Amino acid sequence: MPTDVQERPAPISPPLMPDAPDALALPAPPPPTPHRDRGFTLWTAWVLLAFSFILFCTIVSSAGYTAWTYRTTATTVQQAQLIVRAPIEQITWQRCGRTVFERVQDGQQLQPCDRLRVDSSVGYGQAATLLLFDQSALDLWAEADVQLVKLDTTRWNNNQQQVVVRQYGGYVRYDLKADQPFEQVRFAVFVYDTLIELAAGGSYSIALAPTERTLRFYDERESREQTIDIAVREGSAQITSHGEQLVLQRGQRAMVDVAGALSPVRPAEWQLLRDGSFTAFTEEEYNNTTIPPQQQPQLVRADTWQVFSGPADVEPGFFQIAPVCPHHPAQLPCPPDSTVPAVRFIRTGTQTSSFVTGIRQTLGVGQAGIDISEYPGLLFSIQLRVREQSLDLAGERGSECPAMVRFLHKRGSPLDAEQERVLCFFTSRVPGAAPRRDPGIIYVEVERDMWHTFTVDLRSPGWIPLARYLRSVDVYANGHDYDVQVARVSLLGLQINADERYRIPIVVDPSNVTDDANSR
């Protein structure tokens, strides 16, 4: 039987749903086109070209700067020539990198790092000179010890000159040449950790003096056993020590102590006499110097002035210390606060023979004398009063003066004979009367019982203008009866002429005296 059953269409399956992440993914980029490929390549090429150009410019600039720097800063190492002025065996040098000192040769060349040393037994005066390449000179005295650290000049131009020296000891004078052809000129001296910079064209002195105080550091600094004394004749010097700075001008000096501290600026002068005011010891301690130490070794004696007298076979005079008022009118009483100690030489009793009473100071360490060759000025001054003088003028021999000063010196070398220059102060009962003159003595008339201040530059003609060594200074009275007072004795060594600093005229006419003093 036929059935009218219609065939139902098969159900259509729904499309499969993709996974959620795949459904959210961005569509793939379209394939590159030829136009974009060409743009990217062109951009890359320009970047590489620019980078290459910048790199090229950098290389060229660096090479140019390096060449310019080398040309402007390249230096030439210079040398110094040694001129020996003392016995050659007393001067030694140390090669760079060596530990042994060798004997020098006159005229030899020294290079940076070389060291030069002068023995302490060389005597006085200049022992050697280091003549630098620019004609500057370093003059070395006894015990001088210097090392050349740097002697440089720029090679291709005139930009800079550098000289660096390290000084270890002694006395050195630096005479620097002016008008150098270089735009920047630096001259530096190191002493311990103190830096001293010297201006070109100047004249300077640096001395290391021993001191009783020693300061030892526990870091990298050197131990200090010497003070540094810097003086300026011409030019200017800048001192740097432990962060402190000080500038010295012409005619000034300063010191650096063992701790590195700078002293105040002071005049470039040195007091060569000790205890010139007679305040260091008592009258008894001065008189104790007449007793030999071998007889009474425990006796307290003065170590500045020594009392002397003679001859022993006549009635003696006496040495005393008395308070005086040199600047107070004699007719008025002397206020106690205005008094100063004065030496008194006195001899009474209507004596008929001459007798000397005086004091002597022998100069230098160990009483060996001092080198005065570096002092263009030697300013001597003394205050005195002749209260009584039995002999008129200077006596029959011209050497019996109530107040006398004697300078014992040598002119040239240590082998020279000692010479003396004597100063005689006298009074006259007859105004205008001239004393009998003794060759080698300079005479100065003073008014009796009046205080007089006498000042003279010993470098003046007729005194000791060429003396390089001073052994001792004597102040004494000579005659029959006398009563003399002496106060404030001073001898200043000056780095410049005394007449320039103090306007000191020549107070006496030394025409009767030759330049050569009498040999002793």
pLDDT digits 0-9 by tens, 202-261: 999 999 987 755 555 555 555 557 899 999 999 999 999 999 999 999 999 999 998 889
Q: Is the model more confident about 492 or about 64?
A: 492
Asked if the model's pLDDT at residue 412 lies above 50, the reply is: yes
Mean pLDDT score, 257-280: 93
Sequence-separated (6 or more) residues with CB below 8 Å from residue 360: 305, 306, 308, 472, 473, 474, 475, 476
Asked if the model's pLDDT at residue 511 lies above 50, the reply is: no
Query: 246 by DSSP, 3-state: which?
Result: strand
What pLDDT is recorded for position 515? 39
pLDDT tens-digit readout, 170-212: 999 999 999 888 889 999 999 999 999 999 999 999 999 877 5
Which residues are paired to 421 by β-bridges? Answer: 407
Q: Output the average pLDDT for the chain.
A: 85
Which residues are paired to 423 by β-bridges? Answer: 405, 442
Residue for token pair 């008014």: 447
Confidence of residue 14 (pLDDT cuts 50, 70, 90): low
Q: Is the model more confident about 208 or about 65?
A: 208
Query: Is-contact 195 240, C-beta < 8 A?
Result: yes
Instruction: Quote the CA–CA distance of 259 and 507 in Å, as a whole number.
Output: 44
What pLDDT is recorded for position 71? 65
Cβ neighbourhood burial of 415 (10 Å; 0-12, 13-18, 19+) = exposed
pTM for the complete prediction?
A: 0.78
92-106, 203-217, 312-326: least confident range = 203-217
Sequence-separated (6 or more) residues with CB below 8 Å from residue 163: 132, 134, 136, 150, 151, 152, 186, 187, 188
Query: 336 by DSSP, 3-state: which?
Result: helix
Percent of the chain clearing pLDDT 90 (strictly above): 56
* Residue 179 vs residues 96, 136, 182, 183: alpha-carbon distances, Å: 31, 11, 9, 10
Instruction: Quote the CA–CA distance of 332 and 329 in Å, as a whole number.
Output: 6
Domains of the chain from N-terminus onward: 75-267 (2.60.120.1440), 283-519 (2.60.120.260)
Q: What is the DSSP letter of 411?
A: S
Asked if the model's pLDDT at residue 459 lies above 80, the reply is: yes
Structure tokens at 258: 């063992």
- What does the buried/exposed string (b/e) look like for 3-31 if buried means 16 or more CB atoms within 10 Å of the residue's CB? eeeeeeeeeeeeeeeeeeeeeeeeeeeee
Q: Is the model more confident about 371 or about 329?
A: 371
Instruction: Quote the CA–CA distance of 262 and 153 in Å, as a whole number.
Output: 32
Structure tokens at 447: 């008014």
Q: CA 397, 398, 399: angle at the middle one, nearest 5?
A: 90
Percent of the chain clearing pLDDT 70 (strictly above): 84
